[in-house]
Amino acid sequence: MINLIKSKYQPIGQFGATKAQQDAAFASANAAGNTNQKIFNPNTGQTEVAGTTNGVPNPKAMTGLEGDGGVGFSGKTFSRFLLDDVVSQQTELVTGGVWSTGLGSLITHFSSSAQTTTQRYYYVDVQNSLPTESDSLIQYSVAYGHANGSGSNSQGQLSDSPSRAIYSQFKQLLLNTSQTRFETQGSGSTDSIYAITFKRNRVKERLDPGNFEIPLTSITSRAVNATGSVVVGSPVFTLIDDSSINTAPVIGAMGRIYNVVSGSINSGVFNTSAPVYYGKAYPDYGIVILDGNVLDQKLAFKTQLSSSQECNNHFSLFRSISGSGTVTNPSTSDKYGFLARNSEKITSSHYFVRVKNNEFNFSNNTSYVTGSTGDIKELSFKKDPVAYITTIGLYNDDFQLLAVAKVSKPILKTFSRESLIRVKLDF
């Protein structure tokens, strides 16, 4: 059922009188033997036929108008939806930029200063602006994992080094139970992986396949511990998923799996007959796994595999991505950006609220009436009422308010005006 609302939860009904006046008007019509007159019955919430005047239908009662000093009603406070008024289970695919404020490109990358030293051994959170700025938010995280724990210090930790913990975590999350290693088209089974994890609330339902592009620069030189000096080169390599040529992706434990290959969103996969493979994309989880061996071969990442100290290899990936933002893309004349979009399926129900000319022309808002008896304040409104629809309430059969819809601007409602309002509920 619907109920038009004025101000804050003030119903717009077909009357401008108190409940006592409504009762008296309805009882008076019945007592006079008026069996055809339409008048509002406050006990049922319906407009009912109550009588005629000298055998002739009362036109004022039929239109909701009354003579001076009288009380007239021509409708109901609530109106029930008919079958044709509701269109449900409508679905559409909606995409949007992954980054803050819905942006699809991220050019500036800053490591989070809120992480502890121990946390940074495992991963680094990447923000869109300086951590001291108010709009600085975590956008994604990068991590490095090694099946045997190489690349981080395992001493005194029961051989459970950060790199080993990261590899095991992603293995349990993304691989089938029978798989012990990540496998890529680039180098087969690999012990060395770099991971990019998009912030979950930004991915929404999934990362949109075919709509992300990772820019990477090569590593010219780096310290053993990548939190120190890391020098990146100027050529930028862009990676995408192969959904444009892979129409039947592998379906794993965590949904669809695509290959990560050399290419761009605008140009597609470079060399479709023999793509250069860099890793795997898991769009349903918002995770990209890059093969450490391939990054060493193609981009000279120089992954350090010491087991006696923290190498923080994931900072090389962070510097590679952030370094690309300083290089101009010759095809667009803009700086290279990390491009990504999310995707979600929205289910909608549409409720068509049909407001006829003789309905919802009066208000129960206290500003509409005056005095202890609830007389209409503006005398001209008795014969020519004016109301404005600002809000629509959706109720269940127990008259409990379930949802409220606001119109963009107040809609004038009189006996000479009708309205059709569509309320859309997304879930």
Assess whether pLDDT exceeds 70 at residue 52: no
As a whole number of angstroms, the distance between CA 125 and CA 37 comes to: 73
Assess whether pLDDT exceeds 50 at residue 19: no
Closest CA to 238 of 335, 98, 141, 145: 335
Confidence of residue 307 (pLDDT cuts 50, 70, 90): confident
151 close to 306: Cβ distance less than 8 angstroms:
yes
Query: Given this model, what pLDDT does residue 59 score?
Result: 34
DSSP 213: B
Neighbours of 53 (CB within 10 A): 14
Give me the count of residues in the chain: 427
Residue 382: half-sphere exposure toward Cβ, Cα within 13 Å? 15
Query: Given this model, what pLDDT does residue 249 score?
Result: 86
Query: Given this model, what pLDDT does residue 23 score?
Result: 52
Query: Given this model, what pLDDT does residue 157 score?
Result: 57
Residue-wise burial string across 207-232, b where 16 or more C-beta atoms lie within 10 A, e elsewhere: bbbbbbbbbbbbbeebeebbbeebeb
Assess whether pLDDT exceeds 60 at residue 27: no
DSSP 229: -
Query: Given this model, what pLDDT does residue 33 score?
Result: 45
Own/partner contacts of 132-139, CB < 8 Å, gap of 24 or more, are 135/100, 136/110, 137/100, 138/112, 138/199, 139/98, 139/99, 139/100, 139/106, 139/109, 139/198, 139/199, 139/202
Query: Given this model, what pLDDT does residue 138 score?
Result: 95
The larger pLDDT score, comparing residue 57 to residue 412, is at 412
Assess whether pLDDT exceeds 70 at residue 198: yes
Mean pLDDT of the chain: 82
Query: Given this model, what pLDDT does residue 158 score?
Result: 55
Assess whether pLDDT exceeds 60 at residue 291: yes
Assess whether pLDDT exceeds 80 at residue 215: yes
Q: What is the mean pLDDT of the segment spanning 176-191?
A: 92
Q: Which residues pair with 96 in a beta bridge?
A: 342
- The C-alpha torsion from 186 through 187 and 190 to 192, rounded to 10°, is -70
Domain boundaries in the chain? 2-83+347-426, 99-339
Closest CA to 334 of 324, 343, 342: 324
pTM for this predicted structure: 0.70
**Which tokens in the block code for residue 401?**
């308010």
User: What would the pLDDT profile of 63-122 be if each residue is shown by its tens digit?
Assistant: 333 333 333 344 467 888 888 899 988 888 889 999 997 889 999 999 998 999 999 999
**Which tokens in the block code for residue 313?**
């290899």
Report the sign of the C-alpha dihedral through residues 351, 354, 355, 358, in that order.
negative
Helices marked H in 248-349: 292-299, 314-324
User: What would the pLDDT profile of 224-263 be if each residue is shown by its tens digit?
Assistant: 999 888 889 878 999 999 999 988 888 877 789 999 999 9
Query: Given this model, what pLDDT does residue 22 score?
Result: 45
User: What would the pLDDT profile of 371-389 be if each residue is shown by its tens digit?
Assistant: 777 777 877 777 778 888 9
As a whole number of angstroms, the distance between CA 182 and CA 175 comes to: 8
Q: What is the mean pLDDT of the segment spanning 415-426?
A: 90
Q: What is the mean pLDDT of the segment spanning 50-56?
A: 40
User: What would the pLDDT profile of 164-178 be if each residue is shown by its tens digit?
Assistant: 999 999 999 999 989
Query: Given this model, what pLDDT does residue 247 score?
Result: 84
Query: Given this model, what pLDDT does residue 7 score?
Result: 32
Assess whether pLDDT exceeds 70 at residue 396: yes
Query: Given this model, what pLDDT does residue 2 score?
Result: 58
> What is the percent of the chain with per-residue pLDDT over 90, rounded to a whole number?
51
Largest alpha-carbon pair distance within the chain?
106
